[in-house]
Structure 1
Amino acid sequence: MIKVADRLPAGKLQEYIEVEGEGCTIGPNTFDVEKESAGKRIAIFALPGAFTPTCSAKHVPGFVENADKLKAAGIDEVWCVSVNDAFVMGAWGRDQKTAGKVRMMADGSAEWVKSLGLTLDLTAKGMGVRSQRFSMLVDKGVVKTLNIEAPGKFEVSDAETILAQAKG
C-alpha cells in the first residue's frame, strides 16, 4: 500500500473535457499521472463511486466549496478519483459544478487504485472493485500526507483536513 514519502505510481487516468483547448479534445482524454503531477502540489481524494450518497452530499461538495482556500494554501490542482468511466465522471462533475475547481478523474478499471493498494471490494453489493475513500496531499509526485477512511466512515479524507495539512 502507498504511504507517506512514496512517489505516486505510474498510471493513466481519464478526464471528460467539456471545452476543447490546450491539446485536449472534447470528450474523454487520457492523462499520465506522472506527467500531470510533475512540479505541482495536488490534493487528491478518492471515493467509492459517482452519484453515491456520501460522495455526492459531502465529499465532492466540500472540495468544491474549499477550492479557493486550497489554492490560497498553495494547492495547484484538486483531483477527485473514482472507479467510474470518464463519461460518468464528466456527468457527475457537471452535476456537482466542479468546473475550474476539481478535476474529475476516472479510473474505470481500478488499475491506478490497485497500484496504490487502496481498493475496496464491493462485489457483494453489486458494485465490483472500487476505491477506498481517502485523500492525500502530493508535492511533485511525492505523497506528503495520506488519510485513509475506515470502512463506511467519512472523518479524515475531507477537504478541511487536506486544507489544514496544506497550511501546516
Structure 2
Amino acid sequence: MLKIGDQVPAGTLQEFVEVEGGGCALGPNPVDVTAALAGKTVALFALPGAFTPTCSAQHVPGYIAQAEALKAAGVDEIWCVSVNDVFVMGAWGRDLAAAGKVRMLADGSADFTKATGLTLDLTARGMGLRSKRYSMLLVNGQVKTLNIEAGGKFEVSDASTMLAQAAAR
C-alpha cells in the first residue's frame, strides 16, 4: 500500500474536457499521472463513487469551496479520483460546478487505484471494486501526507484537513 515518502504509481487517468485549451481536446483526454504531477504540488483525494451521498454532499463540495485557500497555501491543482468512467466523472463535475477548481479524473478500470493498494471491494453492495476514501498531498509526485479513512467514515480526507496540511508544509 502507498505510504508517505513513496512516489505515486505511474498510470493514466481520464478527464472529460468541455472547453478546449491547454493542449486538451474536447471530450475524454488521457492524463499521464507522472507527467501531470511533475513540478507541481497537488492535493489528490479519492472516493468510492460519483453521485454517492457523502461524496456529492460533502467531499467534493468541500474541495470546491476551499480551492482558492488551497491554492493560496501552495497547491497548484486539486484532483478528484474515482473508479468511474470518464463520462460519469465529467457529468458529476458539471453537476457540482467543479470546472477550474477540481479536476475530475476517472480511473475507469481501477488500474491506478490497484497500483496504490487503496482498493475497496464493494461487490456485495453491487458496486464492484472501488477506491477507499483518502486524500494525499503530492509534491512532484511524492506523497507528503496521506489520510486514509476507516470504512464508512469521513473524518480525515476532507478539504479542511488538507488545507491545514498544505499550509503547514
The two structures share one fold, judged by TM-score above 0.5: yes
Aligned to 2:19: 19
SS in 2 for 1:136: strand
**Mapped pair 1:6 → 2:6:** yes
**Mapped pair 1:124 → 2:95:** no
| Offset of residue 23 of structure 1 | 1.9
* 1:1-168 equivalent positions in 2, closer than 5 A: 1-168=1-168
Amino acid paired to 1:6: D
Amino acid paired to 2:80: C
| Offset of residue 20 of structure 1 | 1.2
Sequence identity, in percent? 69
Q: Over aligned residues, Cα RMSD in angstroms?
A: 0.4
Describe the superposition over 1:38-57 as per-residue Cα deviations: whole angstroms up to 9, x where unpaired. 00000000000000000000
Q: 1: distance between equivalents of 2:138 and 2:150?
A: 21
Structure 1 stretches of 4+ with a deviation exceeding 6 A read none
Amino acid paired to 1:77: E
| Offset of residue 21 of structure 1 | 1.6
Amino acid paired to 1:95: D
SS in 1 for 2:113: helix
Amino acid paired to 2:3: K
SS in 2 for 1:121: strand
Stretches of structure 2 lacking an aligned partner (at least 5 in a row): none
SS in 1 for 2:150: coil
Amino acid paired to 1:143: V
Report the count of equivalent residues. Answer: 168
Q: Compute the TM-score of the two structures, normalised by the length of structure 1.
A: 0.99
SS in 2 for 1:60: helix
Q: 2: distance between equivalents of 1:142 and 1:99?
A: 25
Q: 1: distance between equivalents of 2:68 and 2:24?
A: 24
Describe the superposition over 1:91-137 as per-residue Cα deviations: whole angstroms up to 9, x where unpaired. 00000100100000000010000000000000000000000000000
